[in-house]
Chain A
């Protein structure tokens, strides 16, 4: 463990730690642009200069590229180091357009921060500024090359980290240009990370430009709900609208980055057409009126047909809290049936995965990255868990062999960011050194023999789940004996359903009566259900999700529910009692326009009460250790808290 002194502070760090990171460990931020912990060292910007006063190396050195060694005496405030850093800023400012007021990065710009920190303030250069032509890079990213400070982060991420080939660096000297050979949409499904990784405003999120400044945003730690990987995100909200979604670091899951679906697929959250009003028989009503009606309808149905003819249907979109209370609600209704899955194959695959996995055989993302071979079994990785493709790429770059099993029909196999060998069956994958291998399996149904074969291979396993909270659904389906809805309907065992964020296929609706539907999006059942109860989305609610590896992660409410202020119907401007609406609004309203949504699990709790039950605290009993889960932490694998079996 090297011991060194940085600005008179003794520091001890792990071998191989850079002086920059060693300084950071004691709270000293050495300014830097090209350095990024997820990328290889470039030492290109030369901003992180420090002076070594004593020890094995002396003089001005770049702290990002200098491994900490015993006996180093480092000064970050030496006049020579300060001068170097101020000159680097001056050099970078020769051509920077200084257009911060009209730059979407302003306020969250590393270049702004370190320019102020660098101490350069007076322009001495008398020459002209260099300018570039910008490119159209697709609907996600806006390109503004004049702002570039040539830190090479974008190209190092895009090509080296994400394996993209259609974006790179061209030209030399003062004319280096970061872009595509020809204008056009970026091809990489990870291109959105350019927005996060660019230290200035060359790449900004086109889907949320000029809407708000960084300090305007409401943020909270969240978990992406697009697939079962559970990447950590920070939705940035302004006036009840999710403007941008950025990646949030979690080294156990997604590292620093997120895929483009997580970042750009957000219009549904802000959609003014989202069903936001509770409805009873087609007419808008108060929320409690709708809940009362639902309870009444449930009681009536149970009295007529018996509780076993009624199913409470959830889905893998529900939070863990919702899934737990769904079971209690079915119980409160007199022992109704529970469905977490619509499809039998999906349920079988999901439950088999949850049953097979344990602390020993479940791969961490690090296991994928360090594997000697990875076998992708019957899955479209770019669809089911794009961020894992980057983990596989890391293994590939380190020399691992990648096999694609039975994947001939997959559409996205050509865009996988690594080279692979196609094989027919798992048998053809050479299992030597099984302990350092990883098998990644899709969410579909799984043959028991195949699972046994995978389990005995000695490889670590990744079993992707259908939907963001599939693992939890499988655990609860196991616990409560839940059945797939399609099966129950086909066997005529169920005649009525109450849906909570359930994706009920339209074909089933001919055979069952929908008593009530609670959801945040319009589904087939939304229009046929006599009672509709609007619920909150994941950005508007607190909850817990369990990802593919059994990692429970907490997401927090990032903004209140309601219609976005932008584009708000003028009918909301005035008071409810006055005929003429005023603009701008001159009356304070007590309710948020379109903000009637409630969290699904709270609606369940209210129904339980109405049905005469005592709603439980969702994360109690065996789940109670998840109650204190830190939303900013790494999450916890349920095996570690004894919940796996």
Chain B
């Protein structure tokens, strides 16, 4: 069965507008505008079981259904392309090969939500993707698939590209909204949720690139088809996994939801690098707990990974082998989070550098027995922050202390990193 996201991809260049159309692109849009009501489109997305691909995995159709339709004033759709989760580069690969699925998907989402003006919030460093999108938007407009009176209907939808300076926190939807409004990207307090009061106080939906890019195929082929793509009965659709670390071929691959961890590493990535032994991996970007060798045959779906004590997250798989020090790996991630804290709330702004200081000492052989207890306090109390950044940052540390406490203790007792 052909998977929806990468099927238009050319190995060495971006797909052209004509190629995309010839291969069935914009069929979903045509289908929706010739006979489907906005409600039908939303229902199809709801029935398909599509879940947010940005990391949280919230059901997309349900998110759309929270938008009140009876409020006066405009509603907004924002595509979140502030991809900064360490280990995650799927949106970049997708957009550098094919901007049209996103453009078509956003047009359909706008149609379903009654949005007249949507934004793509794209981070710095994604200039190539942005250029593709800018060109794609122009081409779609020329072809009457975007802009005024789409396909001759009374519907008009504007799509704007916003090139952001980019910070990790801008991926948080309310911080993204603040940034788009020209303010500091500090998260907003919820409630009110963006679905009710978001951009310029209007109802707003913020969806990830991959999520929206899935919509055309769902509308064109139906919800049942999409559900059927998954290998496990509860799952739906395909997922982009970007694999990095100790594998032979580091790549972003599209695989059915429910593909096992072992199949991702051994199949799509050609196995472990240099015949090393698999020690652990982070399954879905930096803010998820480690998976261990016992999870080799775990089907990669939201529920199954959650049951294993981690999260599918963004699909950014970072693979560690027996030679990797997980204290050092965690420190590396914490370093990133400490730097990317927006500085709004105390636990995140001050707690993460605290954790960083302790992990640095442990890694350098200056750890103390009490440090583990302090780290555990942080794992617990950094949950009470303003947004999800610090709780996410604590996920790998939580995993480290849960599954690899012996390794941490070895650092402290031997007064050095045992793997160096």
**Complex Cα gap A172–B342 (Å):** 5
- Known A-B contacts A94-B353, A94-B354, A125-B354; the reply to A174 vs B341 at CB < 8 A is yes
Residues of B within 8 A of A173 (CB): 338-343, 349, 352
With a CB–CB cut-off of 8 A, which chain A residues contact B361? 126
Q: Please report whether the interface of chain B is mostly helix, strand, loop or mixed according to DSSP.
A: helix
Q: Does B58 have its Cβ within 8 Å of any Cβ on chain A?
A: no
Report whether A91 and B386 are in contact in the complex, using a CB–CB cutoff of 8 Å. no
- CB proximity of B227 to chain A, nearest CB, Å: 35
**Which residues B321-355 have CB closer than 8 A to chain A?**
338-347, 349-354
Q: Which of A62, A84, A124, A169 contacts B184 (CB 8 A)?
A: A169
Determine whether the beta carbon of A91 is less than 8 Å from that of B384.
no
Indicate whether B200 reaches chain A with its CB closer than 8 angstroms.
no
Do A46 and B346 touch (CB < 8 A)?
Answer: yes
Interchain CB contact under 8 A, A87 and B338: no
B2 within 8 A of A: no
**Residues of A contacting B350 in the complex (Cβ-Cβ under 8 angstroms):** 91-92, 94-95, 174
What are the interface flags for A229-262 relative to B under an 8 Å C-beta threshold, 1 for contact and 0 otherwise?
0000000000000000000000000000000000
Q: Specify the chain B residue showing the minimal Cβ separation from A173.
A: B341
CB of A489 closer than 8 Å to a CB of B: no
Question: Does A175 sit within 8 A of B, measured CB to CB?
Answer: yes
Interface presence of B381 (CB below 8 A): yes
Residues of A within 8 A of B384 (CB): 46, 49, 60, 62, 84
At the interface, is chain A mostly helix, strand, loop or mixed?
loop
| In the complex, chain B residues whose CB is within 8 Å of the CB of A277 | none
Q: Which single residue of chain A is at the shortest CB-CB distance from B169?
A: A172
Q: Is A14 an interface residue (CB 8 A)?
A: no
- What residues on A are CB-neighbors of B36 within 8 Å? none
Residue of B nearest to A155 (CB): B184
Indicate whether B142 reaches chain A with its CB closer than 8 angstroms: no
CB of B22 closer than 8 Å to a CB of A: no
Q: Which residues of A contact B369 (CB under 8 A)?
A: none
For the complex, is A44 an interface residue (Cβ under 8 Å from B)?
yes
Contacts of B167 in A (CB 8 A): 172
Q: Which residues of B contact A65 (CB under 8 A)?
A: 189
- A174 in contact with B347 given A43-B386, A46-B384 (CB within 8 Å): no
- B377 beta carbon closer than 8 Å to chain A: yes
Please give, as numbers and ranges, the residues of chain B lying within 8 Å of A84 by CB-CB distance: 381, 384
Residue among A65, A87, A169, A176 having the largest count of chain B Cβ atoms under 10 Å: A87
A43 touching B346, Cβ below 8 Å? no
B347 touches A87 (CB 8 A): yes
Q: Which of B169, B345, B349, B381 contacts A174 (CB 8 A)?
A: B349
A150 at interface, CB cutoff 8 A:
yes
In the bound complex, residues from chain B placing their C-beta under 8 Å from that of A92 are 346, 350
**In the complex where A92-B350, A95-B350, A127-B353 touch, is A87 in contact with B381 (Cβ < 8 A)?**
yes
Please, how many angstroms separate the alpha-carbon atoms of A398 and B345 in the complex?
27
Q: How far is the CB of A48 from chain B (nearest CB, A)?
A: 11
| Contact present for B345 and A45 (CB under 8 Å) | yes
Q: Is B374 among interface residues, defined by CB-CB distance under 8 A?
A: yes
A44 touches B341 (CB 8 A): no
Q: Give the shortest distance, in Å, between A111 (CB) and chain B (any CB).
A: 12
A84 to B184, CA, bound (A): 27
Interface centre among B345, B352, B361 (most CB of A within 10 A): B345
Q: Give A49's nearest chain B residue, CB to CB.
A: B384
Q: Mark B180-218, 1 if CB is under 8 A from A, else 0.
A: 000010000100000000000000000000000000000
- Within the complex, what minimum Cβ distance (angstroms) separates A329 from chain B? 61
Given the known inter-chain contacts A87-B381, A174-B341, please indicate yes or no for A45 contacting B346, CB distance below 8 A. yes
Q: Chain B residues with Cβ under 8 A from A373's Cβ?
A: none
Determine how close the nearest CB of chain B comes to the CB of A383; give it in whole angstroms.
Answer: 32
Q: How far is the CB of A168 from chain B (nearest CB, A)?
A: 9
CA distance A65 to B353 in the complex (A): 26
Contact between B385 and A46, CB atoms less than 8 A apart:
yes
Could you tell me if B189 and A41 are in contact, using CB atoms closer than 8 angstroms? yes
B406 interface contact, C-beta 8 A: no
Interface flag for B370 (CB, 8 Å): yes
Q: Are B344 and A44 in contact (CB under 8 A)?
A: yes
Whether A88 and B347, one on each chain, are in contact in the complex, defined by CB atoms closer than 8 angstroms, is yes
Instruction: Please report the C-alpha to C-alpha distance between residue A175 and residue B353 in the assembled complex, in whole angstroms.
Output: 11
Indicate if B357 sits at the interface (CB-CB under 8 A): yes
Distance in angstroms between the alpha carbons of A125 and B377 in the assembled complex: 13
Q: Contacting B349 at CB < 8 Å: which of A60, A83, A150?
A: A150
Q: When chains A and B are docked, how far (Å) is the Cα of A60 from the Cα of B338? A: 23
Query: A11: CB under 8 A from chain B?
Result: no
- Which residues on A sit within 8 Å (CB–CB) of B386? 43-44, 46
Find the B residue at minimum CB distance from A40.
Answer: B189
For window 198-256 of chain B, which residues contact chain A by CB distance below 8 Å? none
Task: Give the CA-CA distance A8 to B71 in the complex, in Å.
Answer: 42
Closest-by-CB residue of B relative to A176 is B343
When distances are taken between beta carbons in the complex, the residues of chain B under 8 Å from A150 are 343, 346, 349
> Using Cβ atoms and an 8 Å threshold, which residues of chain B touch A190?
none
Known A83-B381, A94-B353, A125-B354; contact A47-B344, beta-carbon cutoff 8 A: no
Chain B residue numbers with a CB within 8 Å of A125 are 354, 357
Q: Do the beta carbons of A124 and B370 come within 8 Å of each other?
A: yes
Min CB distance, B185 to chain A, in Å? 9
Taking a contact as CB atoms under 8 Å apart, the answer to whether A174 and B189 are in contact is no
Residues A19-71 near B (CB distance < 8 A): 41-47, 49, 60, 62, 65
6 contacts across the A-B interface (CB closer than 8 A): A45-B346, A87-B381, A92-B346, A150-B346, A171-B343, A173-B341
**Additional A-B contact list (9), CB under 8 Å, known A126-B361, A171-B343, A174-B350:** A43-B345, A44-B344, A45-B345, A46-B385, A49-B384, A87-B351, A91-B346, A94-B350, A172-B343
